[in-house]
């Protein structure tokens, strides 16, 4: 029976991915900054652990508690919407700490086991913002695009050791807590000069032609984790698939 460790399971894509892998008979290590046992079914095959991917000690403790794993899903992330001109560099660094460096740190922590065992899969969840230019998300897109390049290179680097690295690229998920997760980071990021433009962007988000659901992403992660074809990218959600096919 295989074991998957998933970061960012408190809501949205991570939570649904944990549920999906559990329903498929896997052992699941669901991690989140503040553990909540009530979010997932009680099961001998499911454990909820505390994990802050920006803190090395937290990563080490979570991996020590989880034991050997077969798949790492780097899903933890925070969003940001606003004019880059008004975005403090401290906020940009905060976004990168979780979305980019956190995923890298988690990956680096599991690689010795995967390389020595000559098996294992790392699935990095990015965004359809990497598939086509999108306004008002420059810093967020940069943090996810960095992981795209990182994954492409790492996949080649680890191939001789039998370790796979995959990308799952979700589209726009209005049913997730992406906007809520931006929190106070959005305060002051839409100055008057950008207000009318931002309103038009928000209006377009409110009337999408296609969207991504949590189950779309869970399914995409599942396919990536079990892929044997060597495929690197898995767009998740109708809108993301359309963008990927138009490239």
Residues comprising the chain, all counted: 247
Which of the residues are catalytic? Answer: 140
Rounded Cα gap, residues 202 and 113, in angstroms: 44
Rounded Cα gap, residues 37 and 223, in angstroms: 27
Rounded Cα gap, residues 212 and 33, in angstroms: 24
The sign of the dihedral angle between the CA atoms of 122, 24, 229, 145 is: negative
Distances (CA, A) of 199 to 53, 135, 142, 165, 186: 33, 12, 22, 38, 14
Rounded Cα gap, residues 137 and 31, in angstroms: 26
In which region does residue 221 sit, left (phi positive, over 0), alpha (psi from -120 to 50) or beta (all else)?
alpha
């Amino acid at each position: 029976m295989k074991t998957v460790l998933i970061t960012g399971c408190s809501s949205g894509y991570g939570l649904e991915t944990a549920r999906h892998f559990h329903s498929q008979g896997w052992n699941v290590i669901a991690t989140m900054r503040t553990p909540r046992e009530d979010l997932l079914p009680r099961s001998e095959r499911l454990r909820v652990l505390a994990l802050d991917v920006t803190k090395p000690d937290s990563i080490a403790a979570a991996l020590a508690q989880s034991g050997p794993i077969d798949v790492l899903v780097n899903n933890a992330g925070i969003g940001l919407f606003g004019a880059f001109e008004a975005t403090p560099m401290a906020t940009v660094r905060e976004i990168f700490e979780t979305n980019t460096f956190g995923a890298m740190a988690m990956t680096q922590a599991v690689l010795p086991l995967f390389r020595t065992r000559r098996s294992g899969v790392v699935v990095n969840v990015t965004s359809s913002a990497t598939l086509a230019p999108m306004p008002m998300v420059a810093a967020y897109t940069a943090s996810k695009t960095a992981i795209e390049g990182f994954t492409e290179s790492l996949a080649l680097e680890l191939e001789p050791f039998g370790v796979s690295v995959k990308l799952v690229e979700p589209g726009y998920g209005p049913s997730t807590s992406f906007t809520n997760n931006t929190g106070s980071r959005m305060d002051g990021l839409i100055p008057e000069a950008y207000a009318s433009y931002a309103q038009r962007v928000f209006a377009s988000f409110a009337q999408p032609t296609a969207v991504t659901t949590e189950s779309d992403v869970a399914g995409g992660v599942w396919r990536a984790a079990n892929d044997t074809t060597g495929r690197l990218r898995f767009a998740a959600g109708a809108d993301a698939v359309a963008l990927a096919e138009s490239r």
